Amino acid sequence: MASRKASTQDDLRRHNRARLLRRLHESGAATRSELVAFTGLNRSTVGVLVSELAETGLVSEVPGSAGQVGRPSLVVQPTPQSAVVIAFDVRVDRTVVALVGIGGEELWRREQEHDRATFTPQWAVHDMIGLMREALSHAPSHAAWVGVGVAVPGIVEHVDSVVRLAPNLGWRDVPLGQLVRDAILDEFGFCPPGHIGNDADLGALSEHVRGVGTHHRNLVFLSGEVGIGGGVIIDGRALLGAGGYGGEVGHMVVNPAGKLCRCGAHGCWETEIGRDAIVVAAGLSPEDHDVSDVVNAAAHGDVTAAEAIHQAGEWLGIGIANLVNILNPEVIVLGGHLRLLLPMVGGTVHRRLEYAMTAPRDQVRVEVPALGGDSSLLGAAEAAFEGLLEDPITVLENSVHAAAS
Amino acid sequence: MASRKASTQDDLRRHNRARLLRRLHESGAATRSELVAFTGLNRSTVGVLVSELAETGLVSEVPGSAGQVGRPSLVVQPTPQSAVVIAFDVRVDRTVVALVGIGGEELWRREQEHDRATFTPQWAVHDMIGLMREALSHAPSHAAWVGVGVAVPGIVEHVDSVVRLAPNLGWRDVPLGQLVRDAILDEFGFCPPGHIGNDADLGALSEHVRGVGTHHRNLVFLSGEVGIGGGVIIDGRALLGAGGYGGEVGHMVVNPAGKLCRCGAHGCWETEIGRDAIVVAAGLSPEDHDVSDVVNAAAHGDVTAAEAIHQAGEWLGIGIANLVNILNPEVIVLGGHLRLLLPMVGGTVHRRLEYAMTAPRDQVRVEVPALGGDSSLLGAAEAAFEGLLEDPITVLENSVHAAAS
């Protein structure tokens, strides 16, 4: 029993240290008193935990702003230069990469375009390694490299990190987690904890942690690209389902009399509100145009474009009402091109939403992402920090200096 | 710190005692060795916990079957006569009541018909009190009355137990939890822990705990009545959403060109697969017939009835495919009249399911309930036991003898 108790004490200390770091990472600087209130631990225990974290360099104590009489109290804050992750948002036409410090500060970013036709998984991994080199060259000199996160526009098995299907990249059953890991080990001789995730799932994560869903436990993130992706947070946790494929709302059939979808069904949601559907309905070519062109045309009086947007708004509202009935979320976040549509179709969406059951309808807001077009990218960064946040000391001990990699 | 540790030790002991009782309640008799393996605790700790539970009378140790050489080992098992709950399944045309002992054994049951037109909440509560008296008169002499559970065909706010809407009973914003509690206190001078829940949510619970979903963590239960209800379990926990309204799949719009639903939308799932839709499509009157009549007619060669069933199968498949894409469950359980349809439309459903994304589709089975027509009733019983399972000693100490009530 003695060793068992000791292990429980150790576990508890590790657990509390991790909770404290997560609080600082997700919600920013706090006084010791605030941390005492947040953790429910006593002041001396919080003091010990803060000191331990400060010793690692992950957090520091600095004088807060002197708003009140007397000396300003110290605040504990994360040190973005101490630990960094590299986050990728792999899109159909380009890859966005960011170097993000603990606390969520974006330290550096770049976008690199690619040709969808030749963008094989091997090519993607090759690109990522090059971008990682560049990112690491911009890392603060003593930063530990503690994670890699990758958002992909496809469905990803959540244990094996296999991309089961990324239709718009033409990928199927790609063991991307393994490919990225092997390539990093090859190149850097070390690989930090990594995460491969669906772009909408990661968009949901970042909007929940630092976006419009900060104060809510139930959120749906919709990513409007060529397809329509979805990420769902229920009671504060990602809705994964049996294999991590939950949230694939783009193939919810809303209009069986509608157009044939590439999945073989008729009238999937994405055949009505996906990028190509809107562009084509506006009389434009999907090769050369995207939804922003349709929005511009409508704003300049193009009636066909305006009608295309109105129609998309109707279908958007029908699908959102379905999700409100099924999931009872507090927030539905419209990412990707849906973000551009909302200002023009908000009325239509809310009119359709009237058909949802009253009780859940009264609880929901429809919002654009607080993180703009970066929700998936920053969600990949959040997922990349997960290893460190679960067990800061161990991950830090096993990490390497980013700049030295 | 001393008192804090003591409280933690106490908490831990209470927690482990509760875990052990839950294991015995949900999965039945087990040897001490099996309980050691299940809990991860050492043998002497398990021994102490079992003795404590045995002292309360909730469990007993009896010789197991002597399959092997030597003395049969003792098995620990719940004692159904020690603690009972009363469970109700309030339906549109009748109330089903059961007295259920710990371990899940149904000790007594009855059904009482009622007239939908006059079945107000007050009437319902009055009926329930009468049925409770009767149930308690059938309780074993020393049984403690430890819970009441009620399944209703409506959406229920999960904190306040207010029935926000039960359309087929004509109920709106009924504080049923409070009404039932007050009436029980009035009648019996005591009220055990209670739970009011949506019938499909409770169907999902019982099928997860002791039905077709025992080995799965992600399950959808569909109840086919006048409307179509849904209950969802994700990662082993009920999908509640912001207000507990999650899972209202009946008003998922699948056919915007379809019939007007009483909710105001066109082509809700229940306008295609609800009881009345099927009965009317078969050329029968919904006043005098139900889905079993349609199934019988089809079985006897009625072409219109067969076509009505086939069409319902198509829409059933479309909606199920949507739920597979959105929720990625391992099991979809068809309750109520959908249970009658499955044998006749299984092929159609599986053909439509081909349109779901391959990855989640490969993980799902469509099943009829293991608990037959009693899923919601037994789910109400499970919910009623929740208080006892969380904290057996306290609930038992505060309970009264059922037979004395």
Q: Which residues 243-302 on chain A approach chain B with CB closer than 8 angstroms?
A: 243-257, 263-265
Say how many CB pairs under 8 Å bridge A and B. 172
Of the pLDDT bands very low, low, confident and very high (cuts 50, 70, 90), residue B383 is very high
Interface of A with B in 151-180 (CB under 8 A): 155, 157, 164-165
B376 interface with A at CB cutoff 8 Å: no
Tell me the angle at which helices A2-27 and A43-56 cross, rounded to the nearest 10 degrees.
Answer: 70
Same domain, B217 and B352: yes
Residue A404 within any structural domain of the chain: no
> What are the pLDDT digits (tens) for B164-202?
999 889 999 999 999 999 999 999 999 999 999 999 999
Question: With an 8 Å Cβ cutoff, is B189 touching chain A?
Answer: no
In three-state secondary structure terms, B67 is coil
Is A16 domain-assigned? yes
Please give the average per-residue pLDDT across B67-85, as a whole number. 84
Report whether A369 contacts A207 (CB < 8 A). Answer: yes
Share of chain B above pLDDT 70, in %: 96
- Contact: B253, A321; criterion CB under 8 Å: yes
Contact A359 B157 (CB under 8 A): yes
Place of tokens 């229940």: B270
**Does residue A380 lie in a domain region?**
yes
Task: Report whether pLDDT(A399) > 70.
Answer: yes
Q: How confident is the model at residue A10 (pLDDT cuts 50, 70, 90)?
A: confident
Please state the rounded mean pLDDT for residues A46-73: 84
Q: Return phi, psi of residue A68, to 5°.
A: -110, 175
In a domain, A402, yes or no: no
CA distance B88 to B81: 19
Cα–Cα dist B329/B331, whole Å? 6
Do A381 and A262 reside in the same domain of the chain? no
List helix spans (H) across B112-175: 121-137
* Final residue of a structural domain among B37, B61, B78: B78
Interchain CB contact of A194 with B (< 8 Å): no
Which of the listed residues A78, A103, A124 is the one where a domain comes to its end? A78
As a whole number, mean pLDDT of residues B43-72 equals 85
- Cβ–Cβ below 8 Å for B165 and A356: no
Q: Is B187 on the interface with A (CB under 8 A)?
A: no
B-contacting residues in A 204-243 (Cβ below 8 Å): 216-218, 230, 232, 234-235, 237, 239-243
C-alpha separations of B64 from B8, B57, B82 in Å: 35, 18, 20
Residues B99 and B163 grouped into a single domain: yes
Regarding an ipTM greater than 0.95, the answer is: no
Interface of B with A in 102-141 (CB under 8 A): none
Say yes or no: B217 and B181 in one domain.
no
Given a cut of 90, whether residue A158 has pLDDT beyond it is: no
Say whether both A72 and A131 belong to one domain: no
With 90 as the cut, is the pLDDT of residue A65 above it? no
CA A71 to each of CA A63, B164, B276: distance values in angstroms, whole numbers, following the listed order: 9, 53, 73
In a domain, B222, yes or no: yes
In a domain, A322, yes or no: yes
Q: A68 pLDDT exceeds 90?
A: no
pLDDT of residue A8: 65
Q: Are residues B183 and B259 in the same domain?
A: no
Residue A355 belongs to a domain with what CATH number? Answer: 3.30.420.40
Q: Are residues B330 and B231 in the same domain?
A: yes
B6-20 tens-digit pLDDT: 456 777 888 899 999
Which chain B residues are closer than 8 Å to A358 by Cβ?
164-165
Task: Nearest by CB to B251, from A216, A252, A325: name it.
Answer: A325
Angle at B345 between CA B344 and CA B348, to 5 degrees: 145
Average pLDDT, chain B: 92
Shortest distance between the Cα of A249 and any Cα of chain B, in A, equals: 5
Residue B168 in any domain: the answer is: yes
Distance CA B279, CA B313 (A): 14
Extended strands (E) in A79-120: 83-90, 94-101, 105-113
Q: Kindly determine whether residue B243 and residue A157, on different chains, have CB atoms separated by under 8 Å.
A: no
Look at chain B and report how many structural domains it folds into.
3
Q: CB–CB of B245 and A157 under 8 A? A: no
Whether residue B85 contacts residue B384, with contact meaning beta carbons closer than 8 Å, is answered with yes
- Name the residue in chain B with its Cα closest to that of A266: B355
- CATH number where B57 lies: 1.10.10.10
User: Per-residue pLDDT tens for A89-148?
Assistant: 999 899 999 999 999 999 999 999 999 889 999 999 999 999 999 999 999 999 999 999
Name the residue range of residue B88's domain: 83-201+375-404
Of B255, B329, B356, the CB nearest to A242: B329
Contact list in A for residue B234 (CB cut-off 8 A) is 234, 239-241, 246
Among candidates B323, B356, B359 on the partner chain, residue whose Cβ is nearest the Cβ of A243: B359
Identify the three-state secondary structure at position A246: coil
Q: Judge if A97 and A144 occupy the same domain.
A: yes
Place of tokens 């069409």: B311
Question: Are residue A227 and residue A136 in the same domain, yes or no?
Answer: no
Residues A382 and A325 reside in one and the same domain: no
- B171, β-bridge pairs: B166
Tell me which chain B residues have a C-beta less than 8 angstroms from the C-beta of A364: 242
Residue among B1, B168, B272, B325 with most chain A CBs within 10 A, to mutate: B325
On whether residue A74 sits in a domain, the answer given is: yes
pTM listed for this prediction: 0.91
d(CA A170, CA A184): 24
Q: Are residues A237 and A364 in the same domain?
A: yes
A29 & A44 share domain: yes
Longest CA span, chain B: 78
- Given a cut of 90, whether residue B68 has pLDDT beyond it is no
| Contacts with A16 (C-beta within 8 Å, 6 or more apart), sequence order | A39, A41, A45, A49
For A234, the closest chain B residue by CA position comes to B241
